Amino acid sequence: MFGLSCVVPLNCFDGACSASLFTRFHRECIGNASEYTYGGLMHRAGNQWDEADFSGDQNAIVDFKYSPSPHINWWFDHHQSAFLSDEDREHFERDQKKHADRPQKFFDPLYVSCTGFIADVARDHFGWDAPDLRDLIRWANVIDGAKFESAEAAVGLAAPAMKLMMAIESTTDPEFIPRLIPLLTSQSLVATLQENFVQDQLQPRLEKHQRDITLLRSRAAVDAGVITFDITDQPTEGYSKFIPYYLLPEGVYVVGLSKSSFRTKISVGTSPWTTVPADHLANIAAICERYGGGGHARVGAISLPRDQEPEARRIAAEVTAELKALGQRNRLPTDSL
Ligand SMILES: [Mn+2]
C-alpha cells in the first residue's frame, strides 16, 4: 500500500470536484492506496513544474497541465493549453502508446469540465460509475463551462454549488480545499455547504462579494464591446469574474487587471451570455498563450510577477485593442447589408 498525492489547481471548483471524484474512483475501483493527500497548485508565473510538487509514493494531476515527470502516475486534463511544449505533447503521446492496454493519463479538450471527463473515463475505461454524483458533475459543467442561465444567477449565488464555488475560488487558507475535497463526493452539496468550517469560510466572502460589486461598479467601463477595469491598487485573492458582465451587459469581452499576494494577473474573458456567434469570437487561449498565459477558448489569464505592473498594463492595453478591432471587423459585413 502507498500514499497517493493528488495535485489540484487552487481556487478552482472543477479542480476540487475532479480531485474528489478521482479519489473516490481510485479508492473504490483501483483500491491500492492507503491514504490520499492533496497539494494545491497555483497558476504560477512561468508555469514551470517543480518536482517537489510530486511528493507522494504515487502522484496524480487533475484539471491541470501535463508534466513529463516520471513521478506522475495519473493525469486528467481538458484544458486547450494542457501542454507546456511540443516535447511534453510528444512525451504524452509516447506514454499513451506504451500503455495503450491500460492508460492512466487522459486528455480531451472537448470536455466542459474535468470532473465530467474523469467520470466518463472511469465508466468507459474502468467500468466504474457513481450515480449519486450526477448533481456534482452537472454543477462542475455549469461552473467550469460558465453556463449559468443569467449574469444575475451567476452573481446572485442562490444555489449551494454556487456558494461552494465562491468559498473555493476565494479561500486563502491552504487547509480549506484539502479538507473540502473528500466531502464533495461523500455527501450532498447542501450538506457540505452546511459544514461549520465551510460556513466560517463563506460568510466573510459573501460580504466581500458585495464590496467587490461596489468596487467594480466604480472601476469597470465598456467601450466597443470590451469591458476593462484595473483594481491592482486593491489587492484581492479572488472576485467573481461575472460581476463585470452583470454590471455592463453590453460587454462581449472583459480585460481586467488585478493583483494578489503572488502575482499581477490579466484576466481575459468572454461574456457567457453574449449573442455574438461563436465563430466570430476571439480564441482567448491563443491570445493569452502569446503572452505566456493560457486557458480555454472563451476565458484565460496571463500571470506576471507582482512587481511587473507596468508590463501587465501594457499587455492589457494590447489585448484590449485586439479584441476591439476583432469586434469591429466582425460588425462590418452586417453593417454593410
Ligand atoms: Mn477544469
DSSP alpha helix (H) spans, 187-267:
189-194, 196-219, 243-247
Q: How far does residue 152's CA lie from ligand 1's centre (Å)?
A: 22
Q: How far does residue 329's CA lie from ligand 1's centre (Å)?
A: 31
Instruction: Choose which CATH entry (3.40.50.720, 3.90.1150.10, 3.10.310.30, 3.30.1330.60) describes domain 220-335.
Output: 3.10.310.30
The pLDDT tens digits for 3-33 are 999 999 888 999 999 999 999 999 999 999 9
The pLDDT tens digits for 163-193 are 999 999 888 898 999 999 999 999 999 999 9
DSSP alpha helix (H) spans, 43-85:
none
Let me know: does 161 contact 139? Beta carbons within 8 Å: yes
The pLDDT value given to residue 235: 76
The pLDDT tens digits for 249-285 are 999 999 999 998 889 999 999 999 999 999 999 999 9
Let me know: does 5 contact 60? Beta carbons within 8 Å: yes
The pLDDT tens digits for 46-81 are 567 888 889 899 999 999 999 999 999 999 999 998
- Amino acid code (one letter) for 156: G
- Amino acid code (one letter) for 141: N
Q: How far does residue 295's CA lie from ligand 1's centre (Å)?
A: 10
Q: How far does residue 3's CA lie from ligand 1's centre (Å)?
A: 24
CATH of domain 2-198: 3.90.1640
Let me know: does 118 contact 21? Beta carbons within 8 Å: yes
Mean pLDDT of 85-97: 95
- The Cα–Cα gap between 67 and 88 comes to 7
Three cell numbers written together for 62: 487533475
pLDDT category, 45, cuts 50, 70, 90? low
Q: Could you tell me the residue ranges of all domains in the chain? A: 2-198, 220-335
Q: Which chain residues have CB less than 5 Å from ligand 1, an ion?
A: 14, 63, 114, 144
The pLDDT value given to residue 284: 97
| CA proximity to 76, closest of 164, 135, 140 | 140
Name the pTM for this structure. 0.76
Q: How far does residue 127's CA lie from ligand 1's centre (Å)?
A: 23
Judge whether residue 289 has pLDDT over 70.
yes
